[in-house]
Amino acid sequence: MLLQVIFSGLATGSIYALVALGLSLIYNTTEHVNFAQGEMSMVSAFVGFTFFNMLGLSLPIAILLTLLISALLGIITERLVIRPAMRAPHFNIFIITIGVSIVMKSLSGFIWSHNDYPYPSIFPDETISIGSATIDLIGLGNIGATVLLMVILYAFFKYTRYGTAMRAVSESQNAALLMGVNVKQSFAVTWAISFVVAAVAGILMAPVVFLSTHMGIVVINGFAAAILGGWGSIPGAIIGGMLLGVIDNVAPLYLPSQIKNVVPFAVIFIVLVIRPKGIMGMERFTRV
Amino acid sequence: MQKLRYLSTFGLIVLVALFLTVSDVKAEVGVTDTSILVGCSNSFSGPLVYPGTQLVNNGLKGYFGYINAQGGVNGRKILTQFYDDGYKPQNAVANSKRLVEQDKVFAILASQGTGPVMATVKYLTQNKVPLLFPFQGVPLSGQKTIFTSFTPYPNQSELVVTWLVKVKGFKRIGILYQDDKYGYTFRDPGQKMLQKFGLKWVAAESYKRGAKDLSAQVAKLRKANLDAVLLVATPPPGATFLKEAHKQGWKNTRIISSGPLTDEKYINLTGGVGEGVWGLSLWPDPVHSQDPAVVEYREIMQKYGKDRDKTPNRYSLYGYFYAKLFVEGLKRAGKNVTRESFIAALEGIKDWESGMIPPVSFSGTNHLTQNSGFMVEVQQGVFRPISGWLTLKEGTLVPLK
């Protein structure tokens, strides 16, 4: 029973992890906290739904188109609402993204209605037995896809010229600018990548939590995961998300229902007391 | 001089008499010769946005559009005014004050959500504004100006438990409930009913609203070796529960959905693993039923409904049904309708046949529209009745119709 529940927790956690990953990406380059990350997943999932359900395209093509459109939406969002406020205090940007999330949710409801819809998974809807546990391939696929995406992004930021430039932007926009880094472009690319990550999260999440305009609320779990793992750390986002998913699931197994809801937050609290920067978080030094 | 005094006295009397007559025919709040205004605060955003938009746009506006196209009731068109509370009680109060004081509505019709509705009860009662058929399941009785709608949650819970024990002979019954007032109003009355039979919830598990994973709850309930488990949830977690139960290969326990959960959406979301699930249904199937009244609902809703999404569902059916009942009261209240005469007219309704639910009767002391339900089973993705309409009278199941 425990194995079953832990696996289920990892699968749910991979969704939190992807949201945390998107949050971390934007934070890494821009130091902005993006409240619309969950809604970005929701919009992308609906875009995919339009392609395969309403226009009748095959699932792989629909997903490919969705990822492309998501990148475009990322660039548009950045250009329209973030760039004008680029030099504003980070808190202002946070409020702007709350506004973006509300607009996205209302518009989506207008376009696609507020109903819940079943959503097909790219992974087969089958189960395999490992010992006493039944593992579903959708959950397994989600975990795999999340880890893969993390590795790709980690390598991109660590080893490519472009990734390094984007990290430089987050250190100091002015210094990066003086070194010849195109800061505005870095912002745009970051938003595009983050929106694509959100789209992947949306497409993986919708078969599990169903497609609806309420999906975006997962951003709260994403925040918790990002904080637990360490803000801005790519592996941290994954570890935080998975850990949160497992704790969330194992707690009700052993504790009475009145206490279980507190457990994830208690764990976050304890971790942050011991390691204020989160599990994988790095100390950021600012030279003065 | 004397003559003048008589004249002026006479004039004064005439004036007073005139004034009295004028104030006598002064129409009721929200009522003019050509219109009557009703409205409510409802969810057009937030967690209940789908029920809210369907209930209002397709249900209420749909039926009133149909009635207005025929010239209205007693020569009056029915006008509506709605505000969004996003399921927040404080917004519901503000909206209701605005409806009463600024828009001057005749009555509040079909507002939604236990919290928001409860928050407005005191204000509306004090101001003697009728609160008609709110969409919520906590019992509300004893107020002259309040009429309630569907079978209250405690009664639903008692009905299901009694049926499971008395008709099906089940003994080991468990419950999965949402950890809030909706869940408790099923859990606690159900427990009391079970105790009457010398039983109790063998296992009771809960989930937080918005939960995405119910694997632990499913595992625990499964381990309890139950005959049946009552599911008190909203459609998405309800569907998640069924999928998880299917995944874990849990087969030897009958799953029963509560009234609010017995909804086509919940079965659609499960993607086919809901076969054999039982439920308590308060309505005929809005999508498949061929009852003339339900067919008429679909036609009118398609033609006059105002929402982009016109898939038949239990929320637009609700709005439609209670708009129809409101119109029935209005017709009976006649041309010179006041709030008082309207309430008296509703109280005069006896055995009103809607073709959807058992005959509706009100009285001076009974303002509850429905206190019944029937059991259904999911067969080929559709809820099929497995019992007739049932109600509980002093702890005994009584068939209706």
pLDDT at A144: 96
Please identify among residues 145-174 of chain A the ones whose CB lies closer than 8 Å to any CB of chain B.
none
pLDDT at A30: 86
Percent of chain B topping pLDDT 90: 81
pLDDT of residue B17 exceeding 60, the answer is no
Q: How far is A95 from chain B (nearest CA, A)?
A: 19
Q: Which of A12, A104, A107, A113 is best to mutate for the B interface (most B CBs within 10 A)?
A: A113
pLDDT at A283: 64
pLDDT of residue B18 exceeding 70, the answer is no
- Bridge partners for B373 per DSSP: B390
Enumerate the residues of chain A whose CB falls inside 8 A of the CB of residue B236: 116, 209-210, 212
Give dist(CA B325, CA B330) in Å, integer. 9
Confidence band (pLDDT; 50, 70, 90) for B23? very low
Q: How far is A146 from chain B (nearest CA, A)?
A: 17
pLDDT at B278: 96
Percent of chain B topping pLDDT 70: 93
What is the pairing mode between strands B146-147 and B131-132?
A: parallel
Largest CA distance in chain A: 60
Within an 8 Å CB–CB cutoff, is residue B223 touching chain A?
yes
Whether residue A252 and residue B217 make contact (CB cut-off 8 A), yes or no, is yes
Q: Out of B53, B179, B249, name the one closest to residue A134 (CB).
A: B249
Q: What is the 3-state secondary structure (H, E, C) of chain B?
A: CHHHHHHHHHHHHHHHHHHHHHHHHCCCCCECCCEEEEEEEECCCCCCHHHHHHHHHHHHHHHHHHHHHCCCECCEEEEEEEEECCCCHHHHHHHHHHHHHHHCCCEEECCECHHHHHHHHHHHHHCCCCEECCECCCCCCCCCCEEECCCCHHHHHHHHHHHHHHHCCCCCEEEEEECCHHHHHHHHHHHHHHHHCCCCEEEEEEECCCCCCCHHHHHHHHHCCCCEEEEECCHHHHHHHHHHHHHCCCCCCEEEECCCCCCHHHHHHCCCCCCCCEEEECCCCCCCCCCHHHHHHHHHHHHHCCCCCCCCCHHHHHHHHHHHHHHHHHHHHCCCCCHHHHHHHHHCCCCECCCCCCCECCCCCCCECCCCEEEEEEECCEEEECCCCEEEECCEEEECC
Enumerate the residues of chain A whose CB falls inside 8 A of the CB of residue B50: 113-116, 212
Whether residue A248 and residue B220 make contact (CB cut-off 8 A), yes or no, is no
pLDDT tens per residue across span B267-307? 989 988 999 999 999 999 999 999 999 999 999 999 999 99
Give dist(CA B259, CA B189) in Å, integer. 15
Over residues B37-59, mean pLDDT: 94
Q: How far is B246 from chain A (nearest CA, A)?
A: 10
Average pLDDT, chain B: 92
Which distant-in-sequence residues (6+ apart) come within 8 Å of A143 by Cβ?
Answer: A10, A11, A14
Confidence band (pLDDT; 50, 70, 90) for B14? low
User: For residue A163, which of A18, A19, A25, A34 has the smallest C-alpha distance?
Assistant: A25
Comparing alpha-carbon positions, the chain B residue that sits nearest to A250 is B216
Comparing alpha-carbon positions, the chain B residue that sits nearest to A247 is B216
pLDDT of residue B6 exceeding 90, the answer is no
Give dist(CA B360, CA B393) in Å, integer. 16
pLDDT at B97: 97
Whether residue B179 and residue A116 make contact (CB cut-off 8 A), yes or no, is no
pLDDT tens per residue across span B210-239? 788 899 999 999 999 999 999 999 889 999
Give dist(CA B261, CA B153) in Å, integer. 12
pLDDT at B39: 96
Q: How far is B170 from chain A (nearest CA, A)?
A: 25
CB atoms within 10 A of CB B363: 11
Q: Out of B205, B244, B248, name the one closest to residue A257 (CB).
A: B205
pLDDT of residue A269 exceeding 70, the answer is yes
Whether residue A127 and residue B268 make contact (CB cut-off 8 A), yes or no, is no
Q: How far is B271 from chain A (nearest CA, A)?
A: 7
CB atoms within 10 A of CB B86: 18
Within an 8 Å CB–CB cutoff, is residue A101 touching chain B?
no
pLDDT of residue A285 exceeding 80, the answer is no
Q: Which residue has the higher pLDDT, A288 or B55?
A: B55
pLDDT at A2: 87
Comparing alpha-carbon positions, the chain A residue that sits nearest to B313 is A115
Q: Out of A110, A114, A134, name the one closest to residue B248 (CB).
A: A134
Q: How far is B112 from chain A (nearest CA, A)?
A: 16
**∠ CA B244-B217-A145 to the nearest 5 degrees?**
50
Q: How far is B265 from chain A (nearest CA, A)?
A: 7
Residue found under tokens 């390598």 = A155
Domains of chain A are: 2-274 (1.10.3470)
Within an 8 Å CB–CB cutoff, is residue A106 touching chain B?
yes
Give dist(CA A118, CA A130) in Å, integer. 27
Within an 8 Å CB–CB cutoff, is residue A125 touching chain B?
yes
Whether residue A217 and residue B213 make contact (CB cut-off 8 A), yes or no, is no
Range from A157-171, A185-199, B385-399 carrying the lowest mean pLDDT: A157-171
pLDDT tens per residue across span A218-232? 999 999 999 999 988
Whether residue A8 and residue B215 make contact (CB cut-off 8 A), yes or no, is yes
User: For residue B129, which of B149, B113, B150, B147 has the smallest C-alpha distance?
Assistant: B147
Domains of chain B are: 35-151+287-347 (3.40.50.2300), 153-281+374-399 (3.40.50.2300)
Within an 8 Å CB–CB cutoff, is residue A218 touching chain B?
yes
Range from A261-275, B83-97, B171-185, B360-374 carrying the lowest mean pLDDT: A261-275
Q: Which residue has the higher pLDDT, A284 or A166?
A: A166
Over residues B380-392, mean pLDDT: 95
Give dist(CA A91, CA B165) in Å, integer. 58
Q: Out of B208, B212, B309, name the one closest to residue A208 (CB).
A: B212
Enumerate the residues of chain A whose CB falls inside 8 A of the CB of residue B308: 110, 113
pLDDT tens per residue across span A45-71? 999 999 998 899 999 999 999 999 999
The size of the A-B interface in CB pairs under 8 A is 88
Whether residue A253 and residue B219 make contact (CB cut-off 8 A), yes or no, is yes
Within an 8 Å CB–CB cutoff, is residue A6 touching chain B?
no
Size (chain A), residues: 288
Over residues B308-320, mean pLDDT: 95
Q: How far is B339 from chain A (nearest CA, A)?
A: 35
pLDDT tens per residue across span A72-107? 999 999 999 999 988 889 899 999 999 999 999 999
Within an 8 Å CB–CB cutoff, is residue B247 touching chain A?
yes
Q: Out of A11, A209, A252, name the one closest to residue B236 (CB).
A: A209
Give dist(CA A115, CA A55) in Å, integer. 19
Whether residue B50 and residue A113 make contact (CB cut-off 8 A), yes or no, is yes
CB atoms within 10 A of CB B399: 11
Q: Out of B50, B239, B247, name the one closest to residue A136 (CB).
A: B247
- Would you say the C-alpha torsion A139, A141, A145, A148 has a positive or negative sign? positive
By CB atoms closer than 10 A (0-12, 13-18, 19+), residue B354 is middle
Q: Which two tokens stand for residue B327?
A: 């119109």
Three-state DSSP at B129 gives coil
Q: How far is A88 from chain B (nearest CA, A)?
A: 30
Confidence band (pLDDT; 50, 70, 90) for B16? low
Which residue type does A252 have? P
pLDDT tens per residue across span B353-385? 999 999 999 999 999 999 999 999 999 999 999
pLDDT of residue B24 exceeding 50, the answer is no
pLDDT of residue A236 exceeding 90, the answer is yes
Average pLDDT, chain A: 90
Q: Which two tokens stand for residue B66?
A: 């149909």
Q: Out of A4, A209, A213, name the one closest to residue B215 (CB).
A: A4
Whether residue A114 and residue B49 make contact (CB cut-off 8 A), yes or no, is yes
Q: How far is A169 from chain B (nearest CA, A)?
A: 36
pLDDT at A253: 84
Within an 8 Å CB–CB cutoff, is residue B306 touching chain A?
no
